[in-house]
Structure 1
């Protein structure tokens, strides 16, 4: 059986077929009517009778052709009606719906695209549900802790020798909530296209040292060693947004510390090639190859078993968006049980750029 892969060709051929059918029916009806009538007609009979015969033949032709066109129209538009019904069910939240693909033309391709869209919507909806659950937990845990400590302080239930450690815990929980809220705000700005990049000339080597020093309480608490490795005799200057690059390094370093085992090490590598190269390497559990393509997605977590410690899954997505705005690529290599290394590049600051250094 011949399979036509173009919907427009099908439509064109159908129109030609309907036209031929209508002419054939008209000719056949005219022939039958005239055969039975001409024998009783005189040569000079009234022309109105002939006109009536043509009108009757045309009516029969239109009726039969209309039936054929209706049948063909119903058959050709059935996929579109099915898509409409499926779309209505999807709008009600049922993302398990799929359209049946029976052809290989443009409508078949549209059906495949439609099914792919539904699959992606279902995945996004599941990620949203997971995100709401994770954010709810990440907010409730520190709030519960803060509420407990505040109540204990008000009731004078905390001895003087424990007040400082209790305040440090409260500070840690507050910082945790601030980071979560900042990530959510950044993601909202990214989705709205409002995240702006303000590039200046700055010392990226010094920025790395500042970030590592600032995050010392986190890696000391995890019993992890963070080393800065560089074979450059002088500091490296780049042309980028220092605040956003600070955010990138913080997120990547936090991620490396989070998944590192106690007594292990994390390396922050700063080098120059054609551009400045910054790499952050851990010796943690690594990422499975089948998950590598998904780590940049919003709310995605490769380690489902450590959901409560791994945050909301926004960090790497924000990193990718920031570097995309800088037109800077980022690469990730990982081996299970052998660690992961994230590497990104930044343009070197030419000497001719007179923009002042970041204070």
Structure 2
């Protein structure tokens, strides 16, 4: 909701700012245009009509002349000029068209003195020598009659600033009202988006300013609900299938293990038969381990495996886990060494010992099962920056390229090698808030680095 409110507030402030900027630019443009045309007027007309009237003089003999400059200089830019006496007679003229050179009545003078004389814009000045009429080029300017009440002019001058301020304030109020209505309409949409982000479904009202957006969110929510339902059904079916198959296999597998162990220990049987029985027992143990890994990875993936965390120290925990593996059936195929620094020895952890034991057992067992001869495995622990780093190495053939690619990139496909046991290791460590790195050991063998947070 804060995002929408901030967005609309910025929009309103931007709209107000742009409006004020446009008003300022318009005023500046008017001023610039006025100055521009004023300069052009000065370039076209050397003197104003009042200056010309002041410098035109009549001698005692009735002749007219200009002081300081000649007529061409004073009347630069004007089309013509004439002076009328009280009877309307032309007593002086400058480049006056023939059609205009005639006496004028009082009514004719009253008409052209305000606007035009035969399409010539004219300006008039009254002096002692008569009425000076200056004609400008046709279509050079427009002249219109304008009148108003003096009270209106006074009100505009004295109250105009207040009027403009009131209009701007009204614009601001209207913008704030519209922004408030828009924010209120978007509140429902914002709440719906928050609900979708939290994984909940929504059913929003489609009325108001954001009705179309609310409708789209409703459709999105329905699609998410439908897909989540399909995923939940699929995961439930998968979990039930794994649990059912594991349960159905467990009983016959127990019988196979028991009978193969009896045959292996039966001294009356020939040695080749006893070796085959031992092989059956080993492969059956491997099948049981795979079933346990399959059940465990399924539970870890869907959060069905509770972590029974207990506070422990790194040294005693690792010694116990390594000792448990050395007492198991796979220890005959390897030699395991354990080394720790003082920080790892006293590192305080909050972990599920059984799950960490399973992770270490899978790593060491993987080294034994995938190397032909006896292999040396090393477990090294170091403590640094509130992390316990456990490194498991061997001197065997190392990870096959396809396995290492699948472990490092996490890519799964039809041709992905079997990495269920190592995937379980990764899940267990990640469930404890740690990380796993798989790589090759130098100069030979494989290396796995487990990092667990300490207390």
Q: TM-score when scaled to structure 1?
A: 0.45
Which fold has the larger relative contact order, with Cα–Cα distance below 8 Å and residues 6 or more apart in sequence? 1
Q: TM-score when scaled to structure 2?
A: 0.38
* Structure showing the higher strand proportion among its residues: 2
